[in-house]
Structure 1
Amino acid sequence: MGGKMWDKIELYFFDIIGILIPGIIFLSGITFTSLFLISGDLNMNFNEIFFIDILIKTSKELTKNMLFFVVFFLFNAYLVGIVIKVLSKLYYEIFEIIFDKFLNRKFTEWWKKKQKRKEPDLVHSEKDNNFWNKFIKEIFEFGVDNYRGANKVLLDESKMIIKKRYNTDFPKDDWLFFEKLSKIIIYSENIKCLNDTFLAKYTFYRSLSFISFLQIFLIVVLFFLDFFLKDLLNDYSNLLKIPIFLIIINIIFWYSFHEKYKRYFRYCGNETLVTVYYHLKKTEQTPDSNKDKTLILK
């Protein structure tokens, strides 16, 4: 009974963790930030807009039937979660180009030139380089390795075994091809593996990182618009400097989720690699068990 229940949970684990919960967090977070900062008078003016007025009246009607309201909210949160999932992936791809392939390289070149001018102070120079590589660069690094570099030998050996056993060739340095093939082997052989769990987790943290970035962007936009539009933010926001406080909080959240995403992304690929390697080595000596098999991926 317990095993079947867990199988059902695993079936929808990605949809719940990777899509639904980020959708709920986005809707509640953006709504909270807007209502918390924007002036009450401005909210009243928004309510006069035809579409928003209909939306508010619809929400009031839905709250009369709480079950229907919950279903309606969860359905929309799931749809929003799908959009967040797609946009968060695009966000990391764009920022990888901007930071990893341009700004980080330019800064590294500038940093090296700066250190050369401090040639006598070599100990200080090494400390500065370590500080840059281990802390600053890590924050603004958006690309992630598919697996731990130390396990490259496992990848090469797994490719050799698969090529010999299944009579298939690998495109050179194509991790996605190997990963897809490995997952087919894992699923077809019914091997226990945590790659799907890590997939759901890194999708979850990537979405939360993107949501934190959107929160920061929204607060900054509202903060600057307040200089041009009178009474945009409420009196408490201006008095207590709440926008600055919220920006700091969201920066902390962003960095935490950013690091978690990169960690679980690497875990996911590493789990797939180690699992399929263990299976291949374990079954390598089985006589004629996989002889004359040819595996074709479309």
Structure 2
Amino acid sequence: MEKWLEKIKYWSYDTLGLILPGTLFTVMLCYTFDLELSISLKKLFDFMKDHKVEKGWLFLGICICLYLVGNVIKIASQIFYDFFSSLFDKWILKKYECKESGGIIKCFLCFSRKIVEEEKWPVAKFLRDYLRYIFYFKAPKYFPENQFMIEEIIEKINKEKKTSLKKEWYSIYKISKFYEDNENIKSLSSTFLAKYTLYRSLSFIFFINFCLLVFKDDYLTEVKMKIPTGIFLLMMFISWLTFHIKYKKYYSLCGNETLVGLYYKIVLKSEVKKNEIIIY
């Protein structure tokens, strides 16, 4: 029963992670190209009323359409992050890499690192960390401090099964998911997977929204008249940054959860059984 509840929970997050971005993108698209969404919906309702089509079928049809749009956004957001990762992580920031600053933008962070090390100005550490959050698009697949788990897992599998498994993350991840599904290992990795997919799509949508605000003068003019432009742009930038950070957080949490579950099953649990046999 608990396993089914977990599957329902994952399905809910997964469905929300597609329908919600699909809805937001559709509304944004209609507003951008001056499409009268309310009038279109009214015509659709009138058409269904004339042809005696039940509203339940209409609602289902709309959900399916939004679900399909959400899938498009899911793939587009993945391309978006792959592109900006190549642009910033692997080119711009690498090009201006400074050994003293650990790979962040040259002058300011060389200076800030020295201050942070001397613990004279904690604000520098805060700024340096958040520059990472903003300009780095590639999130770690798992927490770096858990690298030793991969070493031990590979060593144990190769030793016991007489294999030559390499230290590749994708292999570790797939083995871990297999154990989760077949060995009843409690894990939140599926939930984290659904969450990071949702936040990645929302990050992509809010980035487009921010760009439209900057480059399209007649976009959201009603709101711009009520809120100062600078404050409104800052609000939209923070909205993008929020989902940008949350996506990377849950991306790392997802991988880390699968890694810890596999480490428990392969290494820790087998060690416990071995000790029990020795004591017995």
TM-score (norm 1): 0.73
Q: Describe the SS at the equivalent of 2:128.
A: helix
Indicate if the aligned counterparts of 2:143 and 2:256 stay in contact, CA closer than 8 A: yes
Deviations 1:32-81 (A, max 9, x none): x54xxx8xxxx5xx67xxxxx98873354247843233112111110011
Greater mean alpha carbon deviation, residues 187-196 or residues 197-206:
187-196
The residue that corresponds to 2:139 in the other structure is: 144
Which of 53, 59, 73 is matched with 1:84 structurally?
73
Indicate if the aligned counterparts of 1:213 and 1:254 stay in contact, CA closer than 8 A: yes
Which of 49, 70, 87 is matched with 2:59 structurally?
70
Letter in 2 for 1:192: K
Indicate if the aligned counterparts of 1:30 and 1:215 stay in contact, CA closer than 8 A: no
Counterpart CA distance in 1 for 2:266 and 2:227 is: 59
% same residue: 32
The residue that corresponds to 1:283 in the other structure is: 270
Letter in 2 for 1:279: K
Counterpart CA distance in 1 for 2:5 and 2:210 is: 37
Deviations 1:81-116 (A, max 9, x none): 111111111111101111111222344449546788
Which of 180, 196, 220 is matched with 1:202 structurally?
196
Counterpart CA distance in 2 for 1:59 and 1:28 is: 18
Letter in 2 for 1:80: V
The residue that corresponds to 2:176 in the other structure is: 182
Change (3 A) 1:99 1:60: farther
The residue that corresponds to 2:209 in the other structure is: 215
Higher relative contact order (CA closer than 8 Å, sequence separation 6+):
1
Counterpart CA distance in 1 for 2:24 and 2:12 is: 17
The residue that corresponds to 1:294 in the other structure is: none
The residue that corresponds to 2:91 in the other structure is: 102
Structure 1 unaligned blocks of 5 or more: 48-52, 227-231, 288-298
The residue that corresponds to 2:150 in the other structure is: 155
Deviation at 1:138, TM superposition (A): 2.2
Deviation at 1:5, TM superposition (A): 5.8
Change (3 A) 1:167 1:185: farther
The residue that corresponds to 1:9 in the other structure is: 8
Matched, 1:20 2:23: no
Counterpart CA distance in 1 for 2:251 and 2:116 is: 34
Matched, 1:256 2:242: yes
Change (3 A) 1:96 1:55: same
Deviations 1:121-147 (A, max 9, x none): x64997586355312232111111111
Aligned length: 259
Counterpart CA distance in 2 for 1:8 and 1:115 is: 45
Change (3 A) 1:3 1:182: closer
